[in-house]
Amino acid sequence: FGSANSAPLAAATVEQPTASSSSGGLESRYGPKTVIKPLPQNPPNLDVTSADAFVGKTPQGSWQLLDEGRAKNPFEKTKLQNDALELLKRNGGFDELTGELTSTPFEDIYTDDEKAKTIDVRLKWMGLFHRLKAGKGRFMLRLRLPNGVLNSEQCRYMDGVISKYGEEQGCADVTTRENLQLRGITLEDAPEILSTLESLGITTLQSGMDNVRNVAGSPLAGIDPEETYDTRAMCQALTEYVTQGYDGNPAISNLPRKFNICVVGSADMFEHPHINDIALVPAKSNDTGNLGFHVEVGGFLSSTRCTDAIPLDAFVAEADAAALCHAILTTFRDYGVRGPRTKTRLMWCIDEMGFDNFRDEVARRMPGGNLLRASEATTLLPKLDERRVILGIHDQKQDGLQWAGLCVPTGSLEPGDMTALADAADTFGSGEVRLTVDQNVIIPNIPKEKMDAFLNEPIVQKFTPFPGVLVAGLVSCTGARWCPQAQIHTKSNALELAQRLDEQLSFPKDTKEVRMHWSGCPNVCGQSQVGDIGFIGTSFKVKKDEKRVDVEGVNLLEGGRICQAPAEAQVVDKKVPLGDELEQKVKAILMEKYGAVEK
């Protein structure tokens, strides 16, 4: 399925090179060609709806609230005023719109309500986020990278994009959805950048606002000796459904809120399924023996509520996964509450409808009503207590090949980094570069005999596979450098604290990482509740020399668990100022709970 003129999206490997084939016939300019075999998917019925739904289809093909009175937050009103995808994709669409905006003096944009909403809100449907902290007319571009897989050509192009904007502006981040964000972009350049990205197989469509975000899968897909399910083709197929190639999917581009989907690949649950709105967990039907998934729904983190995904009590065959996602997404679209933004994620809709009604509505929307009860399927995941560590050098399932897990502290990439990674991937691997939700990078398919030379590369010294225990487990959101919602600077503070404590402390020999997750505000993009230790930025006033002064600090969390028995980290201390006080508190936790001792 997908529109007739949609081109295939980013390449990912299904046919893995073997040690011998990597020097044989599969070679292209950028190493062995990676080809993904499309997964057969039963097309969902994109028009499915119910008579009592709150949302209906417009003559133009977008879906909108039927009753304006239900648009109870400013974003819903903006969406009713003018549908973003329709605006950006119809006739001259994006190019015309950017032309109009760039030819308007900046001050005039904000005196025109429509233009202001387009530049600040609607452009997010193309992945373009206006960053006033970077300057008027500067944008962050969020991509979609199914399963976090890239090739060297794409990396080089993206490095070229950010390098153009200089060291002040041009940089990129690996995100907590195994994705990339590019910074510094001007609106004048955006049409050319987006069309070049398309020619390289990447779309940025629907990567922001009330859309399905980057579909995450196992970062070790296809190379992992312990793999249960190769997630790449499924992430690709679901992305294809979400964006309909490069056309956009109006059926699901006006959801009540953002939406996260992941496909689980191994017992480690690297994808953090418990915090996704839909998690597909590999299982096998007891009736037919068919491969498919147990479905979990409603997991999310936010400033007011964090909740783990719950079983939908359903098994879906592999070929029906997109149809199942569509059934859930349209139920959410049609019945999800559109009141205060803090209460509009999927789990709120499930609560309001009642679990049984929600499940019945989803089942009704499945082609042929083929949802099976979960008890009629068996999980394929073996039991595992502790997630493996990806960083370091590891044997792949292909004889003679290894992957290198490289630590990119806080996911920050500077001009030159992506080209150096691409060069290393071409010279030593298969030209493939992968990203993880922990904001790190993997270079797969390196023949064992080339590993020593690989480890000597300057970029591998910079992004070492063997970092300190704390830098290894570090995750941080964007923070105050660029993010308008931030209360503190995150990445710089996070890295400084981790490096200082790595210098001061030794950990028991088998400790590979302690996971410290930083977020600059309660939106918790850095997944603070997932960390062994979590940090949520806050600013507050303290009395100093008889005056009340502003202080940047954090609320401190402890006890996040991942893998198969997830648990949310809980707040243990509030308003801890950044600096020495925080360092001492974190040090005490590390010594008491993680066996750290002073060096």
Looking at the Cβ atoms of 275 and 283, the one nearer to ligand SRM is: 275
Looking at the Cβ atoms of 131 and 387, the one nearer to ligand SF4 is: 131
526 vs 141: CA distance, rounded Å: 18
* Contact of 89 with 248, CB cutoff 8 Å: yes
Looking at the Cβ atoms of 430 and 527, the one nearer to ligand SRM is: 527
Q: Tokens in use for 98?
A: 């950017």
Q: Does 253 bind ligand SF4 (CB under 6 A)?
A: no
Angle in degrees, CA 317, 319, 325, rounded to 5: 80
* Contact of 186 with 194, CB cutoff 8 Å: no
Q: Does 467 bind ligand SF4 (CB under 6 A)?
A: no
Q: Buried b vs exposed e over 176-201: b needs ≥16 C-beta within 10 Å? A: bbbbbbbbbbbbebbbebbeebbebb
504 vs 498: CA distance, rounded Å: 10
Is 258 among the catalytic positions?
A: yes
What are the residues binding ligand SRM (CB under 6 A)? 129, 131, 140, 142, 173, 175-177, 179, 181, 213-214, 258, 260, 275, 300-303, 341-342, 345, 477-478, 482-485, 523-525, 527
260 is in the binding site of which of ligand SF4, ligand SRM, none (Cβ under 5 to 8 A by kind)?
A: ligand SRM
List, in sequence order, every beta strand (DSSP E) within 102-153.
Answer: 128-130, 138-142, 149-151
Amino acid at residue number 11: A
By CB under 6 A, the count of residues binding ligand SF4 is 13
Q: Give the shortest CB-240-to-ligand SRM separation in angstroms.
A: 18
**C-beta atoms surrounding 375 within 10 Å:** 9
Is 526 among the catalytic positions?
A: yes
Q: Which of 220, 235, 322, 483 binds ligand SF4 (CB under 6 A)?
A: 483
Q: Which of 217, 479, 553, 560 binds ligand SF4 (CB under 6 A)?
A: 479
Looking at the Cβ atoms of 483 and 578, the one nearer to ligand SF4 is: 483
Looking at the Cβ atoms of 379 and 523, the one nearer to ligand SF4 is: 523
C-alpha distances (whole Å) from 13 to each of 174, 319, 450 are 21, 19, 21
250 vs 330: CA distance, rounded Å: 11
179 is in the binding site of which of ligand SRM, ligand SF4, none (Cβ under 5 to 8 A by kind)?
A: ligand SRM
Is 208 among the catalytic positions?
A: no
Looking at the Cβ atoms of 73 and 485, the one nearer to ligand SF4 is: 485
Contact pattern from residue 513 through residue 542 relative to ligand SF4, giving x for each residue in contact according to CB under 6 A and a dash for the rest:
------xxx-xxxx----------------
Looking at the Cβ atoms of 504 and 523, the one nearer to ligand SF4 is: 523
* Contact of 346 with 300, CB cutoff 8 Å: yes
181 is in the binding site of which of ligand SF4, ligand SRM, none (Cβ under 5 to 8 A by kind)?
A: ligand SRM
482 is in the binding site of which of ligand SF4, ligand SRM, none (Cβ under 5 to 8 A by kind)?
A: ligand SRM
Q: Does 485 bind ligand SF4 (CB under 6 A)?
A: yes
Residue 232, φ and ψ in degrees, nearest 5 = -65, -50
521 is in the binding site of which of ligand SF4, ligand SRM, none (Cβ under 5 to 8 A by kind)?
A: ligand SF4
SS (H, E, C) 169-186: HCCEEECCCCCEEEEEEE
Q: Give the shortest CB-180-to-ligand SRM separation in angstroms.
A: 8
355 vs 294: CA distance, rounded Å: 16
Q: Give the shortest CB-486-to-ligand SRM separation in angstroms.
A: 8
Active-site residue identified among 117, 258, 338, 341: 258
Is 257 among the catalytic positions?
A: yes
Looking at the Cβ atoms of 181 and 396, the one nearer to ligand SRM is: 181
H-run or E-run covering 279: strand 278-285
Active-site residue identified among 411, 526, 531, 537: 526
| Antiparallel, parallel or unpaired: β 474-476 and 392-395 | unpaired
Q: What residues between 84 and 113 interact with ligand SF4 by CB under 6 A?
A: none
- Nearest Cα to Cα of residue 387 among 158, 506, 219, 548: 219
Q: Give the shortest CB-208-to-ligand SF4 separation in angstroms.
A: 12
Active-site residue identified among 520, 531, 534, 537: 520
3-state secondary structure at position 394? strand
- Nearest Cα to Cα of residue 260 among 25, 524, 452: 524
479 is in the binding site of which of ligand SF4, ligand SRM, none (Cβ under 5 to 8 A by kind)?
A: ligand SF4
Is 33 among the catalytic positions?
A: no
Q: Does 492 bind ligand SF4 (CB under 6 A)?
A: no
Q: Tokens in use for 381?
A: 């995941």
140 is in the binding site of which of ligand SF4, ligand SRM, none (Cβ under 5 to 8 A by kind)?
A: ligand SRM
Looking at the Cβ atoms of 464 and 476, the one nearer to ligand SF4 is: 476
H-run or E-run covering 153: helix 152-164
* Contact of 268 with 387, CB cutoff 8 Å: yes
Q: Which of 237, 442, 477, 516 binds ligand SF4 (CB under 6 A)?
A: 477
Residue 19, φ and ψ in degrees, nearest 5 = -55, -40
230 vs 219: CA distance, rounded Å: 10
Place of tokens 């202001």: 116
* Contact of 118 with 87, CB cutoff 8 Å: yes
Which residues lie across from 185 on neighbouring strands? 139
Q: Tokens in use for 365?
A: 């929307």
12 vs 597: CA distance, rounded Å: 44
Helix and strand numbers (H, E) in the chain are 18, 26
Q: Does 62 bind ligand SF4 (CB under 6 A)?
A: no
Task: Specify the stretch interacting with ligand SF4 by CB under 6 A; choose among 224-232, 458-466, 477-485, 493-501.
Answer: 477-485
Give residue number: closest CB to ligand SF4. Answer: 520
Q: Which of 231, 478, 529, 538 binds ligand SF4 (CB under 6 A)?
A: 478
Q: Tokens in use for 118?
A: 């387009």
Q: Does 204 bind ligand SF4 (CB under 6 A)?
A: no
Q: Does 209 bind ligand SF4 (CB under 6 A)?
A: no
130 vs 215: CA distance, rounded Å: 23
Looking at the Cβ atoms of 315 and 482, the one nearer to ligand SRM is: 482
| Footprint of ligand SF4 (CB under 6 A) | 477-479, 483, 485-486, 519-521, 523-526
> Which of the residues are catalytic?
142, 257-258, 520, 525-526
